[in-house]
Structure 1
Amino acid sequence: MQIQTQLLGLALNQLRIDTALPWNLYDEAGHLLLTKGFILVRNAQVDSLIERGVFVREEDFKLYNYPDVVRAAPPPAELEIDPFRMRELIASKLALLLRDAAHDPSLVPDFAAKIGEIARVLHKLCDLHLDATLAAIYLTDHAKYPILHSIDTAVLVDLLARKMDWNDARRRTAVCAALTMNIAMIDAQTILALQRLPLSAVQKEAITTHPAQGADMLRAAGVSDELWLRIVADHHEVPDGTGYPAGKTTLDDATLLVRTMDIYTALVTPRHTKAASDTAQAARNLFVQENKYGNTLVGLLIKEIGLHPPGSYVKLKNGDIAVVFKRASATTPPMVHSFINGKGLPMLEPMWRDATRPEFAIASALPREAVTTKVDLLKIWSAHPHA
């Protein structure tokens, strides 16, 4: 039997064991697989359906869904958070704070406390939705690159500071420094992100001096934490003395952390004038570069988020193009959703794939510009409330 209607793909959490199906199920071509009322009794049946791709008619799905009584709902605070929307709100607030403080510190009373509050919100966002928060680094629009880049860096700084068992005060200071490291370059970075011409002498000077100027601006805005100020002043220094503005060769661990995450996020996020590296290649290249200085932070980052972190694009052995939605564990590969099939056709709905099966294993990473089909972020991550 074939049908001429809109089909919707089902995700893993939409098929339930020991419960009568509320709809007929079809394959991608519209052929009937199972009839309404059929009862799935084994996990293997569910896995088999998801792997091949299973669909329902849109009108049937809208007419009836399972009663929401099978599992307890998460706390209301978790249900209300859209991590991708929250990131945009944080970016808007941070941009306003940095621009006002750079132009006239008197416009932003309690500046340090307000940046600290943003750091606290990011920390909580990582607690509730770490995989989705990481995915935003690789997937969301970076038209606001200067601000989002600082937020991306701050997220990774927060993650690694926790893993290194830093106390809350030191971790918070490093995150605040990452959020404010480019305060002296906010407007200039917006121009540079779009500019295709070579840098002018004035622009080169602005780049070289922005760390020290940024520290001065923060001090004028009321920041008195010397570690915060030092991180901002030194975040472009390099352990071999080739950095700027002072050519230092000794960096404290907090400065090194912000510097390293700053470089990584710049590699994996695109601008108008620069394509992003694929995540695996970026991590490998940076690991080799930093290993020359004895910097072990890239290795720690890879251990925590993997070569294929949430939000990165991958090609599967069967030819599907998929997006990683959950980090690998010590015993399992990353969890992925296919959204383009092996024939290069977009799927109606992202489909979970079991990457432990040979045909769905990750074959390679893909750079962001290689994929033009948009991923519906909430369709993937809202299905996994703790992602």
Structure 2
Amino acid sequence: MPKYVPVPLERVQLGKPLPVDIWSPGGQLLLRRQQILSTEAHRDMLAERQACMTEADAQAWQRSLDRQMRRFYNEGADLSLLAQMPLPSEIAEDDFLPGHEVSGGWMDVQDVLRGLLYQGVSAVSPLPRLDALEDRALALLQSNPDEGLFTLFQALPDLSLGYCATHALLSGLVCSLTADKLALKPSARATLMRAALVMNIGMARLQDNLARQKTAPNPAQRQDIDDHAALGVTILQRLGVLDPSLLVIVQWHHTPDLLEGEGAPLMLVRLMNLADALIAKMAPRQVRHAMLPLAATKMLVMQSSPDTVQLRQAMAAALGFYPPGTYVHLANGETAVVICRGARANSPHVASIINANGMPLSTYNYRDTSTSGLTVTAPVAEHTLHVKVNPDKVKRLRQLHGV
């Protein structure tokens, strides 16, 4: 027997066709889909009979409402008004398909995203999947941005996980945090995250192959790199993506200076360009080691121009000199992994993983590097360490010290 859930009748629109069948709790059909709830009396009658719908219909209806709310939200609608929106009178066919939800942590999102990027134009039900990826990434970001930075920076050197998806999520996270520093609208933050997820869809497999390749790109690969932004836009349009701001970001994220005009789209394109380049510098390749975050962040700021100085400074402040998930030497001789950004860019919260004698620690020690004698003396390159960080130990340490 199907599982039934109550219909929120107060949010059903009068005079519009119902997109679901309406049942009694006992399974008696009260109204067929496409019939109309005509009057308040009709609504009251259904309420008295405890109108229900199947759980599958309820989930599909909610997905359609979520998409509608997201569109209005990205257009700047008032959040308090969105919470009172009526249920839509139509449900997209894709919303009845199961399996669009994304649960779990950042690496679960990374895994689903990698599959979508690899599938490209062949992806099935791409828009609901992209919606779910964006929603989950933003929810995780809202919950604990430092955990996201830690997880993804720890994953960045592991090229077997798929560099394209890790790079995309880190770029989106850095863009979103920078947007907060710049006090941009929430809609800009959401657009940046979604654009980051798909900006390299035109070269996802190539991006992963190049990261593992032991030689520089050959001429054919170089041409594919040059063409990937335009190809990405074509793929996204064929998948049904219509958001002009998102398509502009994907089109111009490598060449923002060629984009004509001013205002919000250009700012978002420049932000994506900066985050994309910054994460690429801090990611290893088979042909080179990763640039240390401190060096990459200093380069980010030193290359400022009048058009980008504010954006670069905001990004550096948002990320810090020693991002969570990277490594540092301390004044007391210990080597530590950064677990949380601090009040200042140069004073993160860390967990010591190697003692002053060079021996790995079985029990990690929390250190606040703003404290005298525990300051950061230098960043440490990941490839020079032979210790694997235990994320569960880090999580317990963060919880214990409230960071």
Listed one character per residue, the Cα deviations across residues 20-55 of structure 1 (whole Å, up to 9, x for unaligned) are xxxxxxxxxxxxxxxxxxxxxxxxxxxxxxxxxxxx
Structure 2 partner of 1:139: 154
Structure 1 partner of 2:277: 263
SS of 1:101 mapped into structure 2: helix
Cα distance in 2 for partners of 1:174, 1:357 equals 36
SS of 1:325 mapped into structure 2: strand
Cα distance in 2 for partners of 1:341, 1:304 equals 29
Q: What is the Cα deviation at residue 228 of structure 1?
A: 0.6
- Is 1:224–2:239 an aligned residue pair? no
Listed one character per residue, the Cα deviations across residues 272-315 of structure 1 (whole Å, up to 9, x for unaligned) are 33311111111001211234753422211221231112122110
Which of these residues, 214, 228, 235, is aligned with residue 232 of structure 2? 214
Distance 1:273 1:359, change over 3 A: same
Cα distance in 1 for partners of 2:321, 2:261 equals 29
Distance 1:188 1:305, change over 3 A: closer
SS of 1:358 mapped into structure 2: coil
Structure 1 partner of 2:338: 324
Q: What is the Cα deviation at residue 260 of structure 1?
A: 0.8
- One-letter amino acid of the structure 2 residue matched with residue 210 of structure 1: H
Structure 2 partner of 1:366: 380
Structure 1 partner of 2:134: 119
Count of residue pairs brought into register by the alignment: 294
- The answer (yes or no) to whether the contact 2:347–2:368 under 8 Å persists in 1 is no
Structure 2 partner of 1:314: 328
- Is 1:159–2:177 an aligned residue pair? yes
Distance 1:112 1:325, change over 3 A: same
- The answer (yes or no) to whether the contact 1:134–1:310 under 8 Å persists in 2 is yes
SS of 2:378 mapped into structure 1: strand
TM-score (norm 2): 0.68
- One-letter amino acid of the structure 2 residue matched with residue 191 of structure 1: N
With 144-153 and 293-302 compared, the bigger mean Cα shift is at 293-302
Structure 1 unaligned regions, length at least 5: 1-83, 242-246
Cα distance in 1 for partners of 2:396, 2:200 equals 33
The Cα RMSD (Å) is 2.4
Within-5 A mapping of 1:1-387? 86-102=105-121, 104=122, 107-109=123-125, 111-140=126-155, 141-143=158-160, 144-239=162-257, 252-291=266-305, 294-329=308-343, 333-385=347-399, 387=403
Listed one character per residue, the Cα deviations across residues 37-77 of structure 1 (whole Å, up to 9, x for unaligned) are xxxxxxxxxxxxxxxxxxxxxxxxxxxxxxxxxxxxxxxxx
Distance 1:234 1:356, change over 3 A: closer
Cα distance in 2 for partners of 1:187, 1:248 equals 31
Cα distance in 2 for partners of 1:177, 1:225 equals 10
SS of 2:329 mapped into structure 1: strand
- The answer (yes or no) to whether the contact 1:142–1:269 under 8 Å persists in 2 is no
Identity of counterpart residues, as a percentage? Answer: 26
Runs of 4+ in 1 over 4 A off after TM superposition: 247-251
- The answer (yes or no) to whether the contact 1:116–1:172 under 8 Å persists in 2 is no
Structure 2 unaligned regions, length at least 5: 1-102
TM-score (norm 1): 0.70
Cα distance in 1 for partners of 2:207, 2:148 equals 24
Q: What is the Cα deviation at residue 164 of structure 1?
A: 2.5
Cα distance in 1 for partners of 2:299, 2:261 equals 22
- Structure with higher RCO (Cα < 8 A, 6+ apart): 1
- One-letter amino acid of the structure 1 residue matched with residue 143 of structure 2: L
With 223-232 and 329-338 compared, the bigger mean Cα shift is at 329-338
- The answer (yes or no) to whether the contact 2:215–2:287 under 8 Å persists in 1 is no
Q: What is the Cα deviation at residue 168 of structure 1?
A: 2.9
- The answer (yes or no) to whether the contact 1:316–1:364 under 8 Å persists in 2 is yes
Cα distance in 2 for partners of 1:263, 1:354 equals 30
